[in-house]
Structure 1
Amino acid sequence: MKHINVIFGFFLLIFLFSGCNTKPVVGLLMDTIERERWAKDRDLFVEKVNELGGSVIVKIADSDPSVQFQQALDLINEGIDVLVIIPVDKTVAAGIVKTAKKTRIPVLAYDRLIWDCDLDFYISTDNIQIGEKQAEFLTKSKPEGNYALIGGPTTDNNSVQLYLGWMNVLQPLIDKGDINIISNTFVDKWQPEEGYKVVKGLLDKGETIDAIIAGNDALASGAIQALHEREMDGQVLIAGQDADINAIRNIVFGNQTITVYKPLESLAFNAAIAAVKMAKGKDPTDNMSFTVNNGHRLVPAILLEGQIVNKQNVRMTVISEGFVAEQEVFE
């Protein structure tokens, strides 16, 4: 009997020991990795979670909200401890949050806010501030003239936030009659062809364009292509964001005015730290007081600041920080 008790005690210790060392499993739902910045986000996030003793299961929806919803169900059934979402659609993703909460899985929204749900945590850049920075830079160089605004999909909350930032700066100049908005468009996808269609349409109508503010560098690159076909390279001020390598090259060559560099390492690392805490049942907020309203509740949040990159500071920003390699830009 004593022998049986010893064996039982041995296996109990093994069970308890293994349970204490179980890796927290993080599910990461991504919209896409077609744009280079998202591949960087993924790699940085996975690296930090691994460093913190966790593991990550990554699912990529290829910009299909229904696929992302099914991927969420798959991860929930696999028994993840926390769900991190870069939502394809802010409304569909709310259904994912509600489903996860039924199984007591906490949810963190990464980069894009998820609307109208009991979201646990949100980490992003301050997108209103980024929009303001884009508009402020261009209006200092071109305080009068015709402006075209190319926003991203309205299914992405960031598109609306950027637009609010643009208008915070532009509206007073519009009211004075200094700036004329010749196009104010929200496109269906964050893709170059969408920016191309908008600008080509304006040029085909004979519109004079002095400046273009685009929601990201992909849209800006499409606008640049449309201008290039009319041999108007470098004649129109253009703002984008994300600091894509192609955008950095366009800035160096004089075809794009600015981009906005998001601190992806800080974004991914802070998200990873919060996710691992949540997976362990801990509060990720550390008594934070900052919150963002998602239409349902005040969500605890971290909002980081973006940085303007132009021809004058490209070496001091994205190159010096190792975000892009000098040889990639000046090859």
Structure 2
Amino acid sequence: MTVDTLPNRDGQLPARIVAKNHSNTPIWLSINALKYVFAICLLGVFILSSCEMKPKVGFLMDSLEIERWNKDKALFEEKVKELGGIPYVEVADSDPDKQVEQAQKLIDEGVDVLVVVPVDLEKAGEIVKLAHKNYIPVISYDRLIKNCNLDYYISTDNINIGELQADYLTKIAPTGNYLLISGPTSDYNAYLLRLGWMNVLQPLVDKGDINIVLDEFSNFWLPDEAYRILSTYLKDKNEVDAIICGNDALASGAITALKEHNKAGKVLLAGQDADIMAVRNIVAGNQTITIYKPIESLAFAAANAAIKISDGEAPSNMNITVNNGKRLVPAILLKASVVNSQNIRMTVIQEGYIGEQEVFN
């Protein structure tokens, strides 16, 4: 291709350049158009660069099978974006090996920090090791990762949650037969909740006021587990005045078993998570209480910490430490609250966690 620069009548260079290709077909390109194209290219480079500069936050989740975790996911993604980050979410479907693979995937994609809801409290230690090999810090979300050099832990105070559950029921029934259904041993929260229960129950057991007729860990945080445990117990025995469950999913399974034995609404029942169905069961009289965990505050605290860490800052409000078996981990532990038939509107509905029509319709 040849380029001709032809002077105009005044002997000045023209405002346009004539380019001739091999077929001698002229192509007219405006200098202003070239400037415009150049500006667009610069803008594209700037946009791409700014995207690359945004912190990448990985969020490794256990499962979305239980209602509350869908809220955690949505709120966490929203908070990370609000704070200028890019969330990368993976869900392991309760498979600990799959979660390790997903961690490696996010590490390979260049995340700056990992936030982990561990499937298994021990296996997730491998995720921490993988991340640290790549100089990536790890925040344990809601559940503690045990026996590793975990960087940070953000959760609710699960011992206190257990105490709230047991304290409420024992105020109504300070004597009688209690049945305990904990979560899986792969989740350290199950141990913490039970510790909270026993902080309240043990003195009453020692006095002979309360008899713990069954005390079992489930395999999963799912209704079928509590249904199986309670149905097996009720086949041969009838003595139960109160049941404390590790979460609302387990509580719903317990309700199914109690209905089959004409005991629903006659036995005190505590759960936690403030699931919609649990709140409806409270209104119906089949569940005594649930525990409302401040999910929005939890998601914000984790997102905020992740963004600060990505920017090289120390996260704020890490004013306590929790021993994970290997080290004292800087932590944030938020407080939860009891939801009963009298305060539903003043708690979960007023907070916007559940809509009034979802409960009462």
| 1:300 counterpart residue number | 330
Q: Which amino acid aligns with 1:149?
A: L
Bigger RCO of structures 1 and 2 (CA < 8 A, at least 6 apart) = 1
Q: Offset of 1:78 from its aligned partner? A: 1.0
Q: Offset of 1:285 from its aligned partner? A: 3.7
| 2:305 counterpart residue number | 274
| 1:23 counterpart residue number | 54
| 1:230 counterpart residue number | 261
| 1:171 counterpart residue number | 202
Q: Offset of 1:133 from its aligned partner? A: 0.4
CA contact (8 A) 1:285 1:300 kept: no
Q: Which runs of 4+ in 1 moved over 2 A?
A: 17-21
CA contact (8 A) 2:319 2:332 kept: no
Equivalent in 216, 220, 223 of residue 192 of structure 1? 223
Structure 2 runs not aligned, ≥5 long: 1-37
Equivalent in 179, 182, 204 of residue 213 of structure 2? 182
Residues 215-264 of structure 1 show CA distances to partners (whole Å, capped at 9, x for unaligned) of 00000000000000112120000000000000000000000000000000
Q: For 1:102-251, what aligned pairs fall within 5 Å after superposition?
A: 102-251=133-282
| 1:64 counterpart residue number | 95
Equivalent in 305, 317, 329 of residue 347 of structure 2? 317
Residues 105-161 of structure 1 show CA distances to partners (whole Å, capped at 9, x for unaligned) of 010000001001111111000000000000000000000010000000011010000
| 1:90 counterpart residue number | 121
Q: Offset of 1:276 from its aligned partner? A: 0.7
Q: Which has the larger radius of gyration?
A: 2
3-state secondary structure, aligned to 1:27: strand
Structure 1 runs not aligned, ≥5 long: 1-6
- TM (norm. structure 1) is 0.94
Distance 1:19 1:323, change over 3 A: closer
Q: Offset of 1:18 from its aligned partner? A: 2.8
Equivalent in 56, 63, 79 of residue 48 of structure 1? 79
How many residues matched?
A: 320
Q: Offset of 1:58 from its aligned partner? A: 0.5
